Structure 1
Amino acid sequence: MSCAPWFTGVILLGVGVWGKVSLEVYFSLLNEQGTKVPYVLIGTGTVIILLGTFGCFATCRGSTWMLKLYAMFLTIIFLVELVAAIVGFVFRHEIKSSFKMSYKKAQDDYRDPPDASSKAVDTIQRKLHCCGVNNFTDWASSQYFRENGLPHSCCKFANCTKDELKNMTVAEGKVFNQGCFASVTTVMESNMGVVAGISFGIACFQLIGIFLACCLSRYITNNQYEMV
């Protein structure tokens, strides 16, 4: 049973890989450190897997000091995860505000050929069927619109012409009217709900691992005293 946290490490590693594949485009616009979030999850999962292996080895050897060390490391990781969850919950509105400002900046700096942030904007607009921060008229203040009109990633259909994209009145029936900020926050909140549920399960398994490691260490110690 002291090997249970090994499975939580595998789950956390899987969540990190999933975040890297599915949510990186959103993290990349959150802030300059956003792209590192999936790697943090992957790294944490890997560490927990290694600790789980260490815990299994300690259990097989019946070593009390190794079990205590294992429980101590699990406790530290649990506390770090708890602090991170509290910070994320307390500053959730600031995170949304930061994303909105970053998305607005990426929109204002949009260029063709696209750079990394412009590609992220295009991906979000195509994937979520949205255009602009609050709606498609937000593009009117950008340098790109003054020169080229709305980007093609805003189009509902593939046959939008440049002249149509330069005219806001005509473009209204050709492009997505939903703003991307509302769409992104909805997607992220739904996905974060899944992550929160998985994280809660992982925390429970870690607490079980800590409890069992301490109990096993005490049991081995008591048996050693009885043998003496």
Structure 2
Amino acid sequence: MSPPSRRLQTKPVITCLKTFLISYSLIFWFTGVILLAVGVWGKVSLEAYFTLASEESTNAPYVLIGTGAIIVIFGLFGCFATCRGSPWMLKLYAMFLTLVFLAELVAGVSGFIFRHEIKANRRHPEDSALLRNSANCSPESLKDLDTAGQEVYTVGCFARVTHVMESNLGIIAGISFGIAFFQLIGIFLSCCLSRYITNNQYEMV
């Protein structure tokens, strides 16, 4: 058994780590709500524009929605594991945070790739109606003047839609990267708390 003075030094550290980790888990839960909202917003608001890229690039909103929903669940699990002070639960929580970190990195990279892929892909003829309906823009050729309305815009449809997509997907990718690196704090706190609790249990033996 370790000296009582050493055990007294360990307990305040555990209490401090628990406080930080519970606070982190609540913030983590809130970031899950944000990711879920951003994913739903991207799916609903940008659904029409996703036809301008390959099918693989349209998975970013689904990744955000799925990741956000799971974060909401595991954020609550993190609070429960911290209050219980269970080392194996804390290790499981750290493993989950690592998976979330990787998933959010994938979502962020997908957003940036999709931004450049819009310009790289050649537009198909059937996209013309989509472009005209999705943005106030100018006709692409003299033939389009026959079907144009009273207002004629000076910015091309494809250029305007590309600008809208780049702006919105930049927001999605930025949020994903920001929240992803936030997980590193939780991984560090979970591992430290698990180690201190385990050491404290051995000291009491």
Q: TM-score, normalised by structure 2?
A: 0.75
Q: Aligned partners of 2:189 and 2:202: how far apart in 1?
A: 20
Aligned match for 2:40, one of 17, 38, 47: 17
Aligned match for 2:140, one of 136, 140, 152: 136
- Superposed, which structure 2 residues align to 1:99-178 within 5 Å? 101=122, 103-107=123-127, 118=129, 120-124=130-134, 128-131=135-138, 135-137=139-141, 140=143, 150-151=146-147, 154-155=148-149, 157=150, 174-178=151-155
Is the 8 Å Cα contact of residues 51 and 70 (structure 1) preserved in structure 2?
yes
- Listed as ranges, the gaps of 5+ residues in structure 2 are 1-20
Q: Which shifted more, 51-60 or 192-201?
A: 192-201
Aligned match for 1:93, one of 106, 116, 140: 116
| More relative contact order, 1 or 2 (CA 8 Å, 6+ apart) | 2
Q: Aligned partners of 1:215 and 1:150: how far apart in 2?
A: 69
Q: Aligned partners of 1:58 and 1:23: how far apart in 2?
A: 38
Q: Aligned partners of 2:48 and 2:110: how far apart in 1?
A: 22
Please report how far the alpha carbon of residue 215 of structure 1 lies from its aligned counterpart in structure 2 after TM superposition: 1.3
Is the 8 Å Cα contact of residues 94 and 186 (structure 2) preserved in structure 1?
yes
Q: Which residue of 2 aligns with 1:30?
A: 53
- Listed as ranges, the gaps of 5+ residues in structure 1 are 111-117, 158-173
Q: Which residue of 1 aligns with 2:180?
A: 203
- Change in 2 beyond 3 A, CA 1:212/1:105: farther
Please report how far the alpha carbon of residue 59 of structure 1 lies from its aligned counterpart in structure 2 after TM superposition: 0.9
Q: Deviations over 1:171-224 (max 9, x none)?
A: xxx533421221122112222332233223211321111111111111211111
SS in 2 for 1:105: coil
Is the 8 Å Cα contact of residues 131 and 161 (structure 2) preserved in structure 1?
no
| Aligned sequence identity (%) | 62
Q: Which residue of 2 aligns with 1:8?
A: 31
CA RMSD across the alignment: 2.6
Q: Deviations over 1:125-168 (max 9, x none)?
A: xxx3114xxx420x74xxxx6xxx744xx42x3xxxxxxxxxxx
